[in-house]
Amino acid sequence: MTPAPATAPSHHQVLIVGGGTAGITVAARLRRAGVRDIALLEPSETHWYQPLWTLVGGGQAPLRASLRTEADVMPPGVRWLRERATAVDPTARTVTTASGRVLSYGRLVLAPGLELDWDGVPGLAPALGHGGVSSNYRPDLAPLTWELIRRMRRGTAVFTMPSGPVKCGGAPQKIAYLAADHWRKRGVLKSIRTILVLPEPAMFKVPVFDRALRETARRYGIEVRLSSEMTAVDGPAREAVLTDHTTGTAETVRYDLLHAVPPQRAPRWLADGPLADPQSPYGYVAADRETLQHPDFPHVFVLGDVANLSTSKTGAAIRKQAPVVVSNLLAGLRGRPAAARYDGYTSCPLVTARHKMLLAEFDYDLRPTPSLPFIDTTRERTDMWFLKRYGLPQLYFRAMLKGLA
């Protein structure tokens, strides 16, 4: 795959912003449907399967297993523009890039993902990678997480999750369980104080999985701080400020290990632009919850992490969103109304031990929507862990990114 030459046409029938899970999946499906003029804006030359990073941080997978080149996953026939979008004008139907190039389009698919706001917690950015601080939300730090867990014998470990929508909302909890399970097997768990800081009043919004995770935390002796958040970090002192949003009280905790998840938001060029949802303080893009079209500009389709939808931001959600976007986009090209509907389906594989996992599947109404018949995925299962470690990555690279699943 080679970059588009400077003389490439500036207009495309379909322009996709973002070459991650959502953008590549939609591009592959459109190509299979016969759409010829597709351009995709993506500056990165690497493509990551991010769900595997939790297992990297837990010592259960090598980082290289989650990596491909962007060229490897780019669908044949799609024009890859190795540039970053910086502005969108949905009235003029144009997108401007970092080089100042202006691209026009017939249909726009927005799938640029979100941004990690490491500066959103005072002191967190300079503390990362030093003094026991790590995060599985950065691929270069996920291996460090495992080193910190592996070396720890006593002290205090703090695992945090920020308020607001984040990608893979179960990840901040999963690494705490993997760490505790490792410490249990090494016989040092009772010498380690483990604190899990969660911003919501429950561990999980779906009651059946909330009960299961409460039991998991109890089994490991984890202190769960609900309706709480880490609001500051002092890296040199190895101290984190944990604030209870119910009472407003703040406690300073000295840590030996800190796994931090940063606040997350839409890319600034979208958050400050005309497509942002005014109801989202994080700048996520407005989208009809069923058709995935922008409510004011139906030629704009939104999916993946950047969409302001009341469901978890996961790859499983994208797998269900992509066919809806493609079907409705094709309907528009053919002069037909958008008929496909997304029901909010998402899936959170909840790893609770080295070879144990729950599979939380639910829709907009938080109703469990299991996709595996005759299997109780609300209970910890070894086969579910093997599905996450080996089955889902294969499904991702060999089927989903090729428009086949």
Global confidence as pTM: 0.94
**Annotated catalytic residue within 27, 166, 168, 324:** 168
Strand duo 79-81 + 38-41: pairing = parallel
Pair 345, 317: CB distance under 8 Å: yes
Fill in the amino acid letter for 189.
L
Residue 263 catalytic?
Answer: no
Residue 197 catalytic?
Answer: no
- pLDDT given at position 7: 43
Pair 316, 25: CB distance under 8 Å: no
Measured between alpha carbons, how far is 246 from 201 in angstroms, rounded to an integer? Answer: 9
- Measure Cα distances from 402 to 20, 108, 405 in Å: 13, 20, 8
Measured between alpha carbons, how far is 158 from 150 in angstroms, rounded to an integer? Answer: 15
- pLDDT given at position 377: 86
Instruction: Give the burial class of 232: count Cβ atoms within 10 A of its Cβ; 0-12 exposed, 13-18 middle, 19 or more buried.
Output: middle
**Annotated catalytic residue within 233, 240, 348, 357:** 348
How far is C-alpha 25 from the chain's CA centre?
Answer: 15
- pLDDT given at position 318: 97
Pair 67, 48: CB distance under 8 Å: yes
Measured between alpha carbons, how far is 75 from 289 in angstroms, rounded to an integer? Answer: 27
Pair 377, 370: CB distance under 8 Å: yes
Which tokens go with 371? 């996709």
Domains and CATH numbers, the chain: 11-114+266-344+396-402 (3.50.50.60), 118-263 (3.50.50.60)
* DSSP per residue, 271-303: HTSTTB-TT-TT-PBP--TTT-B-SS-TTEEE-
pLDDT in tens, the chain (405 residues): 545 444 444 899 999 999 999 999 999 999 999 999 999 999 999 999 999 999 999 999 999 999 999 999 999 999 999 999 999 999 999 999 999 999 999 999 999 999 999 999 999 999 999 999 999 999 999 999 999 999 999 999 999 999 999 999 899 999 999 999 999 999 999 999 999 999 999 999 999 999 999 999 999 999 999 999 999 999 999 999 999 999 999 999 999 999 999 999 999 999 999 999 999 999 999 999 999 999 999 999 999 999 999 999 999 999 999 999 999 999 999 999 999 999 999 999 999 999 999 999 999 999 999 888 778 888 899 998 998 999 999 999 999 999 998
Which residues have CB under 8 Å from 266's CB, separation 6+?
A: 114, 115, 276, 280, 282, 283, 284, 285, 306
**Residue with token string 């993902």:** 113
Candidates 11, 21, 13; CA nearest to 44 is 21
Pair 195, 156: CB distance under 8 Å: yes
Pair 134, 258: CB distance under 8 Å: yes
